[in-house]
Structure 1
Amino acid sequence: MTSSRFPSMTEEDYRASLRLIRTPRIGAVTYNRLITRYSSPQEALKAVPLLAKRGGGQAPKIASEKTVNEEIEQVKTLGARYIFRHTPYYPPLLDQLDNAPPVLLVKGNPRLLQKPAIAMVGARNASAAACRFAHDLGQELANKGYPVISGLARGIDTAAHQGAGIEKTIAVIAGGLDSFYPPENKELQQAISEKGLVVSEMPPKTEPKARHFPARNRIIAGIALGVLVVEASPKSGSLITAKLATEIGREVMAIPGFPMDARSQGCNQLIREGATLIQNSDQIIEAVSVMAALFEEPTEKSPLEPRFSGLENGQIGYRSSPAIAEVKAKDREIIQSLIGSAPVGVNELIRQSGLENAIIQTILLEMELAGRLESHAGGRVSLLF
């Protein structure tokens, strides 16, 4: 399940990619649409104003070269590096997602991203018994060759990281690599960044906000073969991660708990809905065996140093530019009339409009850049105004 190979890009292309990524309204899906459509990131940058105008709004303010240069220097200072999508060291399973982050910022050992890994998440206010169980499971999985991924939160996340050991754990955080949340895990995060791996999609100096955590959770689920929930209340962030894992075809597993404990209700609910009941590490490995059989560690060798900086990253590439669909004014009117405040999927737009997918994708891209669309799970969209 390795990534496809694409033509090499210049340093100017790297910087143009970062300018696109750091531009408002250009999220992962929009970025990937732009890169798929245009022959290079520089061409995509030039196209943004015209596309937004056609979409019926003003173009977003494109991130400046100065902003990107400052970020690159900050990344170098941190002793971190960029890993762009479609490069050998980008996580192979994450690379398959439509909303995969265009670039990851990492500090530590990026080779961990090429190992079949298990995500473990759970309650921040977890019981002592659950924390001990998560710790032991993490240790057993790491000893059997499966790095453990979690979000460095209090409770289960912390126990899982500590159990796996700092050399065999991946911490995905919601803020920049220089942010420490929760504060009491600062030493743990620093230790993981030296011998394990800390991952973020946010630039340095970004403090974690509530809206960043669901995006962080999709990365946790996307990297892993499967997601294990150890303890969780019915409306916890852990269940959001489990839901995301289900949507992208990952194995969802849960530890059963006492029905009267609110911290077990989320796990028991998951099991009722079809999650695999787990009692030990062997059952985890068995549960992810189908996905593991599809996982291929990249065999291509690229010169890598223990620490990485800036944009020195081997190869990054882009898909060949497809034929650009010719969109008529009438086509835009039809699609815009079909999109309302309720989320609708692309397949439904195709069915009701009778238009080709390429035409619809072009119109959606224009509307996104114009700030008129809101994206939802499952590739659905709704109108903002």
Structure 2
Amino acid sequence: MSLPETERLARLRLARADRVGPVSFRQLLDRFGSAVRALEALPDLVRKGGGHGYALPDPDRIDAELAAGDRAGARLLVLGDPDFSPPLTALDPPPPLLWTRGDVTLLSREAVAVVGARIASAGGQRIARGLAQQLGQAGYVVVSGLARGIDAAAHAGSMPTGTVAVLGGGVDDVYPADNAALYDQIVDRGCVVSESPMGARAQARDFPRRNRIISGLSRGVIVVEAELRSGSLITARLAGEQGRDVFAVPGSPLDPRSKGPNELLRQGAILCEGLDDVRRAFETLRTLREPAADSPFTGADDDVDPIFLDRVAGLLSPTPTPRDEIARALDAPIGRVAAALLELSLAGRATLLPGGSAST
């Protein structure tokens, strides 16, 4: 069932609100039942949490983002829309929204990510292109990040069968610029997606979020070439946390670009030399793990007084602390603790983390 347009716009505005990330966005929806009600309650929640002078996003700013999307021929999908990707909906937490260009039906098909080094060897690019071709011919959509090297080869190999490019900046931010022709092809024949606002230019902080979308869209992630400190290994780690299968293409120990995949194999990744390895894993290993659907909130009127907020805040540290551990320490209902953590995060006094933990 489609969301009312007022609710869709409210979800965009809530997602763009200061200090509202994917975790707090989902918790606000759980607690208040709609983004419309959550927006009405947000200033008061910030005040109760100890914050001051909170302003909701200017409606003109939201209108400008929507107008930019129209000019670019982009489509906005918000969490709860019928076409929103089922694998992303199952994440804990899911992204609040996606801007898209191209064929959004690809986001609902079974997908495999192929990622790796930007400065890739000719052999690595050949492997990535061949894997992508095999995966596409077997019916999988291939997901990658539009970077140079392995990503570009994976998109090129799967162009005829379906490919999705996930961007760090806005869906209209072609980065790197020398992949502009590839970007145009994907818009015409595949799908480009981004969680960032229209017009946003990619910053270093955006790429972990982008990598989370890449792994979240996919049933498995294949790393072809990557150094030990690389975004591809971050994608592999996120895939493992999301219950996705992690594959690695082995390489020569003499090549630094093989150290990442070889290390993943030591840690238990699945060796991948071709499509048969992927098929075998999908036939014998687990299906996608989905988070529990239960909300920690008992309702919209959880009683959180300033004294209780301060007690919860006093139990937090830079080390993530599970929500149920705080509840046990305070002998308090989990819903009350969840409400307190949400208010502290909106006031800038805590950071909510996936899985029900929080830190300072």
**Deviation larger for 325-334 or 337-346:** 325-334
What is the aligned partner in structure 2 of residue 146 from structure 1? Answer: 140
Q: Read off the aligned partner of 1:362 and give its amino acid letter.
A: A
Output one character per residue of 1:161-192: Cα deviation in whole Å (capped at 9) or x when no partner.
00111551000000111111111101111110
Rounded Cα–Cα distance in structure 1 between residues aligned with 2:354 and 2:22: 13
- Mark the CA change 1:77 to 1:250 in structure 2 (over 3 Å): closer, same or farther: same
How far is 1:14 from its partner? Answer: 1.7
Matched, 1:370 2:347: yes
SS at match of 1:93: helix
Q: 2:241 aligns with which of 230, 238, 247?
A: 247
What is the aligned partner in structure 2 of residue 342 from structure 1? Answer: 319
Structure 2: 5+ residue stretches without partners: 290-294
- Mark the CA change 1:76 to 1:263 in structure 2 (over 3 Å): closer, same or farther: same
Output one character per residue of 1:12-56: Cα deviation in whole Å (capped at 9) or x when no partner.
222221111111211111111111111322211111111011111
SS at match of 1:106: strand
Higher RCO (C-alpha under 8 Å, 6+ residues apart): 1
Are the counterparts in 1 of residues 3 and 81 from structure 2 also a CA contact under 8 Å?
no
TM-score scaled by structure 1? Answer: 0.87
Rounded Cα–Cα distance in structure 1 between residues aligned with 2:354 and 2:342: 17
- Mark the CA change 1:105 to 1:245 in structure 2 (over 3 Å): closer, same or farther: same
Output one character per residue of 1:73-120: Cα deviation in whole Å (capped at 9) or x when no partner.
111111111112123211111111122111111110011111100011
Are the counterparts in 1 of residues 87 and 108 from structure 2 also a CA contact under 8 Å?
no
Rounded Cα–Cα distance in structure 2 between residues aligned with 1:39 and 1:79: 31
Q: How many residues align?
A: 353
Are the counterparts in 1 of residues 102 and 187 from structure 2 also a CA contact under 8 Å?
yes
- Mark the CA change 1:202 to 1:294 in structure 2 (over 3 Å): closer, same or farther: closer
SS at match of 1:333: helix
What is the aligned partner in structure 1 of residue 204 from structure 2? Answer: 210
Q: 2:24 aligns with which of 30, 34, 40?
A: 30
**Deviation larger for 41-50 or 283-292:** 283-292
What is the aligned partner in structure 2 of residue 361 from structure 1? Answer: 338
SS at match of 2:321: coil
TM-score scaled by structure 2? Answer: 0.93
* Map 1:1-385 → 2, pairs under 5 A: 9-58=3-52, 60-165=54-159, 167-289=161-283, 322-323=298-299, 324-376=301-353, 378-383=355-360
Are the counterparts in 1 of residues 3 and 80 from structure 2 also a CA contact under 8 Å?
no
SS at match of 2:55: coil
SS at match of 2:57: coil
Rounded Cα–Cα distance in structure 1 between residues aligned with 2:63 and 2:11: 12
Rounded Cα–Cα distance in structure 2 between residues aligned with 1:190 and 1:359: 49
The alignment's C-alpha RMSD in Å is 1.9
Are the counterparts in 2 of residues 106 and 200 from structure 1 also a CA contact under 8 Å?
yes
Are the counterparts in 2 of residues 60 and 369 from structure 1 also a CA contact under 8 Å?
no
Q: Read off the aligned partner of 2:347 and give its amino acid letter.
A: A
How far is 1:341 from its partner? Answer: 2.7
Are the counterparts in 2 of residues 271 and 277 from structure 1 also a CA contact under 8 Å?
yes
How far is 1:61 from its partner? Answer: 2.6
Rounded Cα–Cα distance in structure 2 between residues aligned with 1:345 and 1:330: 20
Output one character per residue of 1:211-265: Cα deviation in whole Å (capped at 9) or x when no partner.
0000000001111001110011111110000000111111011011111211101
Rounded Cα–Cα distance in structure 2 between residues aligned with 1:19 and 1:187: 33
Rounded Cα–Cα distance in structure 1 between residues aligned with 2:12 and 2:203: 21
Rounded Cα–Cα distance in structure 1 between residues aligned with 2:85 and 2:344: 30
Structure 1: 5+ residue stretches without partners: 296-318
How far is 1:10 from its partner? Answer: 2.6
- Mark the CA change 1:351 to 1:138 in structure 2 (over 3 Å): closer, same or farther: same
**Deviation larger for 189-198 or 208-217:** 189-198
SS at match of 1:89: coil
**Deviation larger for 57-66 or 258-267:** 57-66
- Mark the CA change 1:99 to 1:215 in structure 2 (over 3 Å): closer, same or farther: same
SS at match of 1:157: helix
Rounded Cα–Cα distance in structure 2 between residues aligned with 1:122 and 1:228: 8
Q: Read off the aligned partner of 1:163 and give its amino acid letter.
A: G
Percent identical across equivalent pairs?
41
Q: Read off the aligned partner of 1:173 and give its amino acid letter.
A: L
